[in-house]
Structure 1
């Protein structure tokens, strides 16, 4: 079997539990992704092949190295849709098809498991005549930008002789890690869905001092803007707000923000470059985050209230889903000022209705099939 994902933590991590479970079930598994992520895959004990390149390189090939990020620009987010559509609907798929085609010819796998954002993985498998299934990385998010991406994917697919592929699933079954109650209705109505519990994945590491065995009468708040959309100003505002709570705060600055740039922080706040999120969440009382799929799914599974500060991509529709499920609140753009963040966080920590909804959602996640159970089903889809 070949698993393949875009070159991003948020797109790759969700596939690792099933890939590892498939290997443990006795299948030969090779994971194909870009060079920047190979070390992560190797730490999971999987064989690797190089395919694709990173999103930053892809964006720079279109917009140049100095182009602003959508969350760091005064331009409306929708003005970036043509560039985003070109990157995810043409540049990345084209590169993955070029790299995966010889790999598929050499390995001749019985099944390709492609991450759903990696259209090139799907197209390469279909061109090679190899059975394939998609693997979601969170909620399937409808919207204008996705329409642009799918339009460009359809054009590329037609160019290579695969016109008429049914998007977004390419006509393939899809491993879905999102609880059904919060999944997009359009996806549920049209997809052949293989439910899989979102168990999360993190590189091994120690929790910050004081987390284990802490005084649980004092809440612990976790703040992160993820690995791709970190924003120094947003983090500073959020730190200032959360420090005013009668709570302890752990901040994961992520790879895009230097912790030193955040300056001196109050005594109840601890800033780390990185934390093992999967291990941290069971100790947390509230997650304040960007709405990335990994953090959203992790908070669902841990039964935690969420305050979402979306910055880009699918984070806005994830935030809407959090609110619709009754498990949190969202603050968008100019709404995310210190006083409002403080007030919303304070309310969420005290809201028993939100906590009850979060616990029910966690129960739904716990009832979903495990990676080991889904791995046992994979031969059903293989050639």
Structure 2
């Protein structure tokens, strides 16, 4: 069977699809992965064949806000939402439709698997008359930000002749890596879910020394790899966590100048990057921004979470963490060093949180593996 996988060009959208794509290839299927050339090295490291399609997020935002010289904080909220809606709901899907057409004509796939942020894949498959299925990267957000995005790509879908409910991805099968207990209930009720265990993905690498051999709790702090990871937020969180009798490992990411964090106490270690998938099973508490990859990774690893959301779907992820009883959140001005310290102290000691974390980890462990799902992909062709 020939399969085209496609996702938006960002690691947060790319990585969740790699385990299933690799499993499909291992099962003997002819697999290619379509995304922007900048991300082809990551695809190749995963042992997959990349093909060019789409554009990067900065390119899409540049087109959506063409001619606007204002800084992001200077754009009124409603206008910003409309621009984001254009970028995700019109600019990128239209580009992917155009770029995927020759890929489909050349490869003649039996199935196209599109990441849920990339409905252009669904539109291209529909125009070409081939089956498609969606693939999630986390909880399906119903937040306010999705309204202008869905409005835009619903129009584009209708232009491509694809009608139906976009909120459940036009009734396409949906590979869902989010445990049902924390998935949006309205989505679970209406979607054709194909559960898949979330399998963390990273490019590989060694764990920092001492991670697996220590005598006190290990707290992992990350604010992701985007511009949200601002030095002052990390510094405030570090100040709070350093006061605990624990080791603190900080993944600063490429957006932060480590020097801007200044001197840190001896129980704090700064790393620009860590192999997160390999690290999480060793962690006693994850303090993070609420990105889907980190949220789901902590679910599977059985680690409580303190979420410090900064934007996008991070707020709904934080709400889901709290609702599941597996962590806490600090938003806006509530995020102070003292609040981080006390929240972390409570989460490390709270037996009710520990019980909830174990239950959720067991739920994740019981979800079908990538190999099991890959073995059944033929059922969605026809």
Name the TM-score, length of structure 2 as normaliser.
0.95
Match of 1:17 in 2: 19
Match of 2:224 in 1: 226
Judge conservation of contact 1:253–1:273 (CA < 8 Å) in 2.
yes
What does the per-residue CA deviation read over 1:3-23, in whole Å, with 9 as the maximum and x for residues that have no partner?
000001111100000000000
Question: 1: distance between equivalents of 2:70 and 2:345?
Answer: 37
- 2:151 maps to 1:151: yes
For residue 79 of structure 1, report the CA deviation from its aligned partner: 5.5
- The aligned runs of 1:63-78 (5 Å cut-off) are 63=65, 67-69=70-72, 73=73
- The aligned runs of 1:109-258 (5 Å cut-off) are 109-164=109-164, 166-215=166-215, 218-228=216-226, 229-258=228-257
SS of residue in 2 equivalent to 1:170: helix
What does the per-residue CA deviation read over 1:269-320, in whole Å, with 9 as the maximum and x for residues that have no partner?
1111110001000110000000000000000001111000001110000000
SS of residue in 2 equivalent to 1:282: helix
Question: 2: distance between equivalents of 1:281 and 1:358?
Answer: 13
Judge conservation of contact 2:247–2:267 (CA < 8 Å) in 1.
yes
Match of 1:102 in 2: 102
SS of residue in 1 equivalent to 2:169: coil
- Compared CA separation, residues 357 and 79, structure 1 to 2 (3 A): farther
Judge conservation of contact 1:150–1:168 (CA < 8 Å) in 2.
no
Identify which range, 369-378 or 335-344, moves more after superposition.
335-344
Q: Unaligned regions of 5+ residues in structure 1, if any?
A: none
Question: 2: distance between equivalents of 1:168 and 1:33?
Answer: 23
Judge conservation of contact 2:139–2:178 (CA < 8 Å) in 1.
yes
- Compared CA separation, residues 344 and 68, structure 1 to 2 (3 A): farther
What does the per-residue CA deviation read over 1:140-198, in whole Å, with 9 as the maximum and x for residues that have no partner?
01022112111000111223333446434122010000000000011101100000000
Match of 1:338 in 2: 337
Question: 2: distance between equivalents of 1:136 and 1:330?
Answer: 23
Match of 2:81 in 1: 81
Match of 2:33 in 1: 31
SS of residue in 2 equivalent to 1:167: helix
Match of 2:284 in 1: 285
- Compared CA separation, residues 324 and 61, structure 1 to 2 (3 A): same
Q: Count residues with an aligned counterpart.
A: 378
Q: Unaligned regions of 5+ residues in structure 2, if any?
A: none
